[in-house]
Every structure is written in structure tokens, then in C-alpha cells.
Structure 1
Amino acid sequence: MFNFYFGVGFALVNFVLFLLCYKWFGKAGLFAWIAAATILANLQVVKTIEMFGLVMTLGNVIYGTIYLATDLLNEKYGEKEAKKAVWFGFFTLVMTTIIMQLVLVFEPHESDFAQTHLEALFGLMPRLALGSLTAYLISQYLDVKLFAKLREKFSRPDQLWIRNNGSTMVSQLIDTFIFCMIAFAGVFSWDVWLQIFFTTYVIKFFVSAASTPFIYIARGFKHPEEAQKPGN
């Protein structure tokens, strides 16, 4: 049960740091958070843990905060800014992938100790990288559009939880399906594939639900830039 209880605390740390990043740095902090989270999520995913008898990967909590950030941008600054943030995160992920692949090409000195560790972290198969990038771009754009549509029907301030959870839970389902299909279809048997798909989405589902109080807290923070909210 250690991983479960530690995981709860780990999620809280992620949410609190997210709040601090927005409180201290405003809209720029949300863009910076998305950039950092896309990189950290793809580093954490190489580590597997066991919880309740199931093997799962890390990275789902920090990845879930990306949806939290884009939904908050959509809520306070408009759909255009949320879309810009999606592309910013996508560029960050592509940039990191390209640069680190080039880093791995350099021949290490005989005294070097980092090459094998860097290969373990960044030498991912192209199939995994393709799955991650494709799933990110499609699901994030879907999340932005769904949030905007839900805001038309559920526009009251107290209905933010519907906009946030409705858009995130649907888009993360698509994200999980796309990534698992590209990365793992044909690699594992279908029963194992279904277990990976199910456990990954369940974790994302609970992370999304747990993040709801934090988006309400973040919405209450005031920054001067909100006066120039861009149009959609």
C-alpha cells in the first residue's frame, strides 16, 4: 500500500506546485508549466510501479495537470490562448526529442558515465515518441474545443467542474486510446493491451476528478493581464 499512499501525496505536491506556478507567474506560469509537464511526463513514463497488483507507469499525474492548465487558460483568457498553449507544449516536446536524440549521437569519452542513463531516458523507440506526440496534440485540441462548447451550455461560475471534468475525461479517453494503439498494439496480447489501456485511463480519470478543487482555487487568483482577455 506504500505506493498508493505515497501516490496520493505525490499528486497533492503536483497540484500545489501548479497553483504556486500560476499564482506567482500568472499566464506565463501556465505556459511554463505546460512546457515542463510535457517533458517530465515523458521522462516519468519509463518508470513502472505496482499498485493493487497491477503494473502501471508513472507520468499520469503530471500529464493530467496539462489539461488543468489548458482548461484554466480557456476559462480565464479564452480559447485562443488555450490553443496557443497546446502548440507551445507540442513544440517543447518535439524540441526536447530532437535535441536529446542528437545528444545521444555524440561519442562519449571513456570516463563518461551518463550515456547509458541518457539512452534509458531519451532513447525511446520512435513508435513510443510518435504515440505520445500524436495523442498529445489530438487530445489537447479536443479538450480545448470541448471546454469551449461546454462553457456555452454550462456557463455559470459554479458549473466550472462540469466544463473541466467533462472536457478532460473525454479527451483523456481519446489520448489513452491513441497512445496505446500506436505504442502497444501488436506488441502485447489484446488482454494485456486492454489492462494497460484500462489502468492508464482509470488513473487519469481519478486525477482529473481530484484536480477539481484546485482549478476553483486557481480561478480565484487575480492577475493584471486578465484585463486584456483575448477574443476566441
Structure 2
Amino acid sequence: MITNILKDRPTKLFLGFTAFFCCNALIAEAIGTKLFSLEKLFGVKPANFTLFGQSGLAFTLTCGVLLWPLEFVMTDIVNEFYGPKAVRRISWTAVILISYAFLMYFLTIYIPPADVWLQSSTKQGVPNIQDAYSAIFGQGMMIIVGSLVAFMVSQVVDVTVFHHIKKRTGHKHLWLRATGSTLVSQLVDSYIVLFIAFSQYFTWQQILAVGMMNYIYKCSVAILLTPLIYLIEGRIEKYVGHETARQMKLAAMGQTESEGAIPTAG
């Protein structure tokens, strides 16, 4: 049984996608506690935008946004070759693993620290490593809930928009359905997190303004990553073979060979 699985290239590919998808999502959640300045990263002055009555806005983002765009690239690739059921499967797998990780984080925070660990941290310039550990891994519950809800809802939106466009354009214009579905789902993702996690602290104007700044960044990255989708698609077709790739795309759309040929993606 396992030998047959390991010999089947589409199956091996899906297992690899699932592993990367879940690992990337978990890392993004773990590093999301750190905020960084996009302007400082590129050595430019703060944007100082004014949106919804909020002035002095800049691109202050969580480190998680460095990895989340790859999740949507993977979603579009899996959607293209395996269909929406496969996307839902890996999305739920990621949510379960992330929830498990956060449970372990919280449990380890409350485990009594060893004296030798506390003492050794002072030599590294960390006055209280237990407090540092708690601050890094102890994200607020509403932030966690908001992040997971936003992730699942945006995945559903991404899949829906992707297939809606694909039904209208056929198998041409991969860039349109991939980028278009990401732009819509990222808008949903940006605001769900803020509404759930910060509605009790921020005004509606602040939420709208901060959400739009996040969305501008995500839109820009989504457009820049469009060539990567074509690169991955080409590598997949080379790996599994053109005919197998064509069959995979048919199956992803719920079609059969008799329902027509697939034109080359454009």
C-alpha cells in the first residue's frame, strides 16, 4: 500500500504541499507576535497616509505577513490541480495543528521553570527569560481566535472566487483566477482578524484604516507573486507529465475526459 502511494507522483506531490502548507502556517502564527516596519526594512521614510480620518499611518506589520502570502499561492496551486475538497482538507489540517501548537505553548508557559534556566538567561542579557517566553508564545486568546477564523473564512472565499472565475474562463488565464481570488480573500482576512481581536480597543475608523494598510501590502505581494504561480505550475507539469497534469486539472473541476479538452493555461 505505502509503496503504491510513494510511486504515485500526484499523491507524493499532494503530501508535500500539505506538509509545507501546514508548516508555513504554523511558523507564520508563531512569529506573528513581532511587529516590524516595512519602511525601515527598505530604508525609506514612513508612508504617513491618512485614511478614514486616521493620519500618520505607516506599514507596521506582523512578521506573519511575510509567510501568509505563500499560503494563498499554495491554495491556488492545490485548487488548480486537486480541487476545492483538497484545499478544505489541508486548511482544516493546518487549523487543527495550529490549535494544538497554541495549546502546547500555553501549557509550557505555566510549567515551573528550572532555576538553572533562569540563571543562564542573565548571562545572555535577558533579565527574566520566563517573562520573555510568556510574552512571545502567550498571544491573546482573541488574537488566536481571530487569526484562525480569518484563515478559514478567507480560504473558503479564495476557493469560491477561484472556481467562479475558472468556470467563466476555462483553464486559461491562471493569473486572473489566482490573483483575483487572493485579492478578494485577503480583504476578508485583513478585516476579520481586526474585528475579532481589536474591536474592543480600536474605533471603527482605526480598524478600517489599519485594515486597509494591511490590505495594500497584501495586494502588492499577491501581484508580485503571480509569476511564482506559473513557475510552480510548470514544474508540476514537468514532474507528473503533461497528460497527468491535464487529467488532474479536469478532476479538480469535476470534469471527465469526455467533457472536452483543456487548452493550455495562459
Q: Give TM-score scaled by structure 2 length.
A: 0.72
Q: Within the alignment, does 1:167 sit opposite 2:181 as a pair?
A: yes
Give the residue type in structure 1 aligned to 2:139: L
Offset, 1:191: 4.0
Give the residue type in structure 1 aligned to 2:136: L
Q: Within the alignment, does 1:134 sit opposite 2:121 as a pair?
A: no
2:51 aligned residue: none
Offset, 1:88: 1.5
Matches within 5 A, 1:15-164: 26-50=13-37, 51=39, 52-53=45-46, 54=58, 55-113=60-118, 114-157=129-172, 159-164=173-178
C-alpha contact 1:154 1:162 (8 A) present in aligned 2: no
C-alpha contact 2:191 2:207 (8 A) present in aligned 1: no
Offset, 1:31: 0.9
Deviations 1:34-59 (A, max 9, x none): 11121121223211222242233222
2:219 maps to which of 182, 192, 205: 205
Higher RCO (C-alpha under 8 Å, 6+ residues apart): 1
Give the residue type in structure 2 aligned to 1:149: H
CA distance in 2, matches of 1:190, 1:102: 34
C-alpha contact 1:61 1:204 (8 A) present in aligned 2: no
Out of 109-118 and 72-81, give the one that drifted further. 109-118
CA distance in 1, matches of 2:16, 2:221: 21
Give the residue type in structure 2 aligned to 1:45: G
Secondary structure of 2:116's aligned partner: coil
Radius of gyration: which is bigger? Answer: 2
Unaligned runs of 5+ in 1: 1-24
1:16 aligned residue: none
Secondary structure of 1:49's aligned partner: strand
Unaligned runs of 5+ in 2: 1-11, 40-44, 47-57, 119-128, 255-266
Offset, 1:66: 0.5
Deviations 1:125-154 (A, max 9, x none): 111111101111111121112212211012
C-alpha contact 1:61 1:207 (8 A) present in aligned 2: no
Aligned residues: 207
Secondary structure of 1:108's aligned partner: coil
Q: Name the structure where helix makes up a greater proportion of residues.
A: 1
**Matched residues, percent identical?**
28
Sort the Cα spacing of 1:83 and 1:143 in 2 relative to 1 into closer, same or farther, 3 A: same
Q: Give TM-score scaled by structure 1 length.
A: 0.81
Offset, 1:107: 0.8
2:233 aligned residue: 219
Offset, 1:116: 2.8
2:190 aligned residue: 176
CA distance in 2, matches of 1:56, 1:101: 24
Sort the Cα spacing of 1:156 and 1:126 in 2 relative to 1 into closer, same or farther, 3 A: same
Give the residue type in structure 2 aligned to 1:34: F
CA distance in 2, matches of 1:189, 1:78: 39
Secondary structure of 2:67's aligned partner: helix
Aligned-residue Cα RMSD (Å) equals 2.0
Deviations 1:47-102 (A, max 9, x none): 12222422332221311110110110010122221111111111121111112111
CA distance in 2, matches of 1:115, 1:149: 50
Offset, 1:189: 3.8
2:258 aligned residue: none
